[in-house]
Amino acid sequence: MTIELLYTEPFSTKVETRTVNTAADIETFADDLLTRYQTAGDILPGIDLRHDNGESMSIAIAPFGWALIHTGADLDQHYTRSNDTAEGGSHDVRWEEPDSIPHVSRHRR
């Protein structure tokens, strides 16, 4: 299974693409990208994963956890956060453009 990972470098709006094959590939890349964002002093990074069958998922990455964002066919957005993510407030995440991820009800994994 080949998955396309889309991301932007800190303070950039240019979308970069790389191929990943395993969850370990994604985790290693996400850790490295977070380090680059922290070093540059940018907001939190986000990545998009796109399967060759057209399905996609976005992941917001933070030192204190992560959030998975799925947009359904009816444009409803749903997300799942890691267990250690705090309630309340929001965090800014950069995909192509910055977006804010709220802390509301959650689904635990």
pLDDT, tens only, 58-98 = 888 888 777 776 655 555 555 555 555 455 566 777 776 66
106 pLDDT band, cuts 50/70/90, is very low
pLDDT (0 to 100) of residue 109: 35
**Which residue type, as a one-letter code, is found at position 20?**
V
pLDDT (0 to 100) of residue 7: 95
Q: Is the pLDDT of residue 38 over 90?
A: yes
pLDDT (0 to 100) of residue 108: 36
CA atoms of 106 and 109, how far apart (whole Å):
10
Tokens encoding 96: 């192509």
Q: CB–CB of 11/42 below 8 Å?
A: yes
Measured in residues, the chain has a length of 109
Can you name the residues that pair with 70 across neighbouring β-strands? 78
CA atoms of 35 and 46, how far apart (whole Å):
13
This prediction has a pTM of: 0.74
Higher pLDDT, 58 or 33: 33
According to the 3-state scheme, what is the secondary structure of the chain? CCEEEEECCCCCCCCEEEEECCHHHHHHHHHHHHHHHHHHCCCEEEEEEEECCCCEEEEEEECCEEEEEEECCCCCEEEEECCCCCCCCEEEEECCCEEEEECCCCCCC
